[in-house]
Chain A
Amino acid sequence: MLVTKYVITSSESNILPSDIAMKIYGSKYDVTVKETCMGVTINGEEEVIDELVKEIRALDPAGIFIKDRGFPPGDPRRCRGRRGGGARPGFYMIESESKILPMISRALTSEGEIPVLAEKKRPLSPGRLQEIIKEDLS
């Protein structure tokens, strides 16, 4: 079965989308590659893509993130060239998560003790608010 995957690079990674694309062009794998602003889209047989994903990840294990994509690359139902421009549906999610990727990359490579986080302040619960009101009014 043909599968499509996004290969997304962290903004702090030394690997560029073009590096990944060039590696795939120079590889033995029979896959379709489309370079994008945040990484590359690859499409091919499932077994081939699984093997390729391992090789791509080895370029920068902590800085390359891979996810599934439903539509094949250049699909007219999603390609913005056919839809009159604008961001492709689903781009916003990738864009938002891309901002967190550098932190996740650093966390994946970090060693040592896990920091203890201070408990975050939570909004007052309605029950506690009722208690305060009753105390003040009684």
Chain B
Amino acid sequence: MAKVIVYPPTSTILSDLVARMGHKALVVPEAVRKLVTESGIDSPPLNMTPEEPKKGLRYAAVDVPSGVRGRMSLIGPIIEEAEAAIIVEDPGWLTGCAGCSRTNELVRLLIRTKGVPVLDLAYPSDDAEARVFVHKIRSFLEGLN
């Protein structure tokens, strides 16, 4: 079982397909869960502590907007953990954790420079493309075994 980071890191389709094929999908909600359910931390609305932007400093300089560093404090450790990656081209409707374009550029760069196997795809727009999409993901994940 390989740890596969998916981009967008909040994608239902990608995380489901990875889990369905017996691997572990590395996704942002897991990192968010640790922050929001850990006892002892309670600073609504997001339970961010001063430690989070500091973690983000490992991936982005201090003059980079705090939103990028805050997001990187969640996504950065996931990238470090990844053994493979599936990147789907930005569909233009990413929001929330995945809604910052500068963070997304940095995430894609860090994944590519990490040197793990990467599968590049685009979201399908018809049935034929969807079949190729699923086939490519299946072949890629089978190759990781």
Contacts and interface: CB of A to CB of B under 8 A. Distances in A.
A6 B12 contact: yes
A49 B129 CA distance: 33
B131 to A, nearest CB: 4
Interface in A13-44: none
Contacts of B135: 107, 114
B33 A3 contact: yes
B130 A100 contact: yes
Given A65-B12, A67-B16, A100 B124 contact: yes
A76 B46 CA distance: 11
Contacts of B51: none
Interface string A102-117: 0110111010001101
A8 B134 contact: no
Main secondary structure, interface of B, reads: helix
B128 A115 contact: yes
Contacts of A96: 91, 93
Contacts, number: 108
Given A100-B130, A117-B129, A92 B93 contact: yes
Interface string A76-118: 1100000000000110111011101101101110100011010
Contact of A103 (B35, B94, B124): B124
The size class of the interface chain B forms with chain A is 35 or more
B36 interface: yes
A2 interface: yes
Interface stretch (B24-32, B53-61, B63-71, B112-120): B24-32
Contacts of B19: 66
Contact of B130 (A65, A89, A94, A103): A103
Contacts of B97: 90
4 A-B pairs with least C-beta separation: A70-B32, A103-B130, A68-B29, A107-B130
